[in-house]
Amino acid sequence: MLQKMYDWIDERIDITPIWRDIADHEVPEHVNPAHHFSAFVYCFGGLTFFVVVIQILSGMFLTMYYVPDIENAWKSVYYLQTEVAHGQIVRGMHHWGASVVIVMLLLHTLRVFFQGAYKKPRELNWIVGVLIFFVMLGLGFTGYLLPWDNKAYFATQVGLEIAEQVPLIGTQLKTLLAGDASIVGAQTLTRFFAIHVFFLPAALFGLLAAHFILIRRQGISGPL
């Protein structure tokens, strides 16, 4: 039955090459922890992606309750945390995932760095990876404000003051992020929400796609 369905689709849109590109490849011995336990360092990248998936899913569920508005943002988070069934777990996953993803990214980056795996021909993939790291830090910074509690508010204020000190474009940069040259308020929360939920994830998906396409094209680096 499944085979018939596959054939039916394959006859029309020729998915076998796509399938082969994605999944049909060999895993060399030196990255397989079943053969060399020390190869567990090659898991860090995959686990980073796993945490990113957790972040995306838990974030999607959080937006079912979250209200990006200064009157209700904190209340909606508090309600989610105290009243909604398993709300604490969903928010906990998103909160801790934000930290774990940074840790896993760091471990993955260090693995690639110390193995010199970014050398020719993989320079571009390293650059894409570092850009993913920057996008993640941006997601951490914008997501920190969203619960609209004291630590979020004041940390964001400090962050925006730092942005303001950038020469030439400082004020414009702050206004772009905060929605106002001096007030950190309703506009700021809405902008950070938009950046956190739409702009940065869009950039992240693009970069992740490039990261994965490049690694499938170039293959994993050989053993040292």
Partner 1 sequence: MHRGKGMKFVGDSRISSEKTSQIPKDYSEYPGRTEAFWPNFLLKEWLVGAVFLVGFLCLTLAHPSPLEGMADPTDAAYIPLPDWYFLFLYELLKYEFASGDWVLLGILGIPGIVFGSLLLAPFLDNGPGRRPHQRPIAVGMMILALIGTIWLTYTSASHVDWEARAEANKPVPQSSVTIDTDHPGYAVYENSCMTCHGGELEGGPAAPTLVGTEHSAEEIADIAVNGTGSMPAGIFTGSDEELEQLADFIVTVNESAE
Instruction: Restricting to residues 171-200, name those near partner 1 by CB under 8 A.
Output: 184-185
CA dist 172 and 183 (Å) reads 14
CA dist 60 and 197 (Å) reads 9
Nearest by Cα to 208 from 51, 19, 32: 51
Nearer to partner 1, 64 or 119 (CB): 119
Q: Please name the amino acid found at residue 118.
A: Y
Instruction: Decide if 200 contacts 98 (C-beta within 8 A).
Output: no
Q: Shortest approach of partner 1 to residue 170 CB, angstroms?
A: 10
Q: Establish if 223 lies at the interface with partner 1 (CB under 8 A).
A: yes
Q: Establish if 130 lies at the interface with partner 1 (CB under 8 A).
A: yes
Q: What are the angstrom distances between the C-alpha of 117 and each of 45, 120, 173, 223?
A: 13, 8, 36, 9
Nearer to partner 1, 28 or 206 (CB): 28
Q: Establish if 154 lies at the interface with partner 1 (CB under 8 A).
A: yes
Residue numbers 102-121 binding partner 1 by CB under 8 A: 102, 110, 113-120
Residue numbers 65-94 binding partner 1 by CB under 8 A: 70, 74-75, 77-78, 81, 88-89, 91-94
Choice from 7, 14, 83, 123 touching partner 1 (CB under 8 A)? 123
CA dist 77 and 63 (Å) reads 10
Choice from 52, 135, 139, 152 touching partner 1 (CB under 8 A)? 152
Nearest by Cα to 145 from 97, 187, 88, 101: 187
